[in-house]
Structure 1
Amino acid sequence: MDIYANADPVNSLDVRTETENSYTKRHQTPQHAVELVVFTDGWVCYQSSLYFISFEIKNWEESRTYCRNKGADLIIINNSEEQVSDFMLTLNYDSFWIGLNDRDVEDTWKWVDGSKMTSMFWRSSEPNGHTKENCALAYASGWIDHGCHKEFKWICEKNI
């Protein structure tokens, strides 16, 4: 087992404890501590879910297909704790596809599991795309609607 530690300019500490097929990553800032179990196949365990964080880009449908082929689906963000969680902030992603769209009925946003959107984290004046922007991208600052054919990173989620 190897342990790595390194401090960055904002007083955070990143400690990794490696095992054969995973490592534990603990991210510590003055306000928060996040502990993630990261598996060698790219999945991250956080609270009661597994997440796959892409490093490549795909359109919304290709991203969803990738997730489904792995027994997961695009991430569903159910509450403000998930939207701006320490986990999401730790990822330091600019934007990524989430499992939300209005492709079936315009302005009726649904999650990939068929449930209606109950918590909304749209940026100001979003969604604004009408029929040309039917898929949602997440930023730490909120969601935007975007053309589903554009390519971005994505996050898969599956419950454990």
Structure 2
Amino acid sequence: MQTKKQLQMMTAKHDALKRNLTGEPVKCHFLKGGTCFKCDPDWEPHRNKCYRFLTEKLNWDQSRSRCEKLGGQLVKIDSKDEQVRVALFSTQQNKFWIGLTDQETEDEWLWVDGSRLDKRFDSFWSGKEPDNWKGTNSDGEDCATMGEKGGAAGLKSWFDRDCNKLQKSICEKSASTGRVKFNCE
């Protein structure tokens, strides 16, 4: 009996979250006290961030611009948890640009916000990557992608690629926070 009441309460809270204060459905990562992180439609919530997986194939610079036009940026991996979450969507068929490049200075990997790649995350590179292979472009490979070569085992799913290659991309932006009123009777 208690389980049925709990289910009804959770269903009512879920419905209230969908309606939100604006009356429009939102995706919400619920926190204690009626506060939630909210993402716009077409964005996926995870903790305090929102992700949008773009299926249109663009080069790295075009992908960066597209994310910015959508109010975000190419994804910056800040933690193992985030790497695991984003890697779930990356496979051989789903290769995504991430916001990491060494276009300015070879082997100095920078995120789109200008911060340096934290050495703790060097373990996310697959095999002998980054290798700056120059087989298709004499400038080498200066932009980072996830999910290549059949999906690398575990967390090792980053590869450097020719920035002109066309592929999908992952955008991210901060989630907005808000209070949600529940009308549970």
Q: CA deviation at 1:22?
A: 3.7
Larger relative helix fraction? 2
Deviation at 1:46, TM superposition (A): 1.3
Q: 1:128 aligns with which of 126, 131, 144?
A: 131
Whether the 8 Å contact between 2:27 and 2:45 is mirrored in structure 1 is: no
**Identity rate, percent:** 35
**Could you say which structure has the higher strand fraction?**
1
Question: 16-25 vs 111-120, which deviates more?
Answer: 16-25
1:3-34 deviation digits (Å, cap 9, x = unpaired): xxxxxxxxxxxxx9776434579xxxxxxxxx
Q: Following superposition of structure 1 onto structure 2, how do residues 1-160 of structure 1 map, counting pairs within 5 Å?
A: 20-22=24-26, 39-40=40-41, 42-85=42-85, 88-89=87-88, 91=89, 93=91, 94-118=94-118, 119-120=121-122, 121-129=124-132, 131-139=139-147, 141=152, 142-160=157-175
Letter in 2 for 1:152: Q
Q: 1:143 to 1:61 in 2, by over 3 A?
A: same
Distance, in Å, in 2 between the alignment partners of 1:92 and 1:99 is: 15
Task: List alignment gaps of at least 5 residues for structure 2.
Answer: 1-13, 30-36, 134-138, 176-185
TM-score between the two structures when normalised by the length of structure 1: 0.72
Letter in 1 for 2:106: E
**One-letter amino acid matched to 1:127:** P
Query: TM-score, normalising length from structure 2?
Result: 0.63
Q: What stretches of structure 1 of length at least 5 have no aligned partner?
A: 1-15, 26-35
SS in 2 for 1:136: strand
* Amino acid paired to 1:129: N
Q: RCO (CA 8 Å, sep 6+): is it higher in 1 or 2?
A: 2
Rg larger for: 2
What do you get for the CA RMSD once the two structures are aligned?
2.5
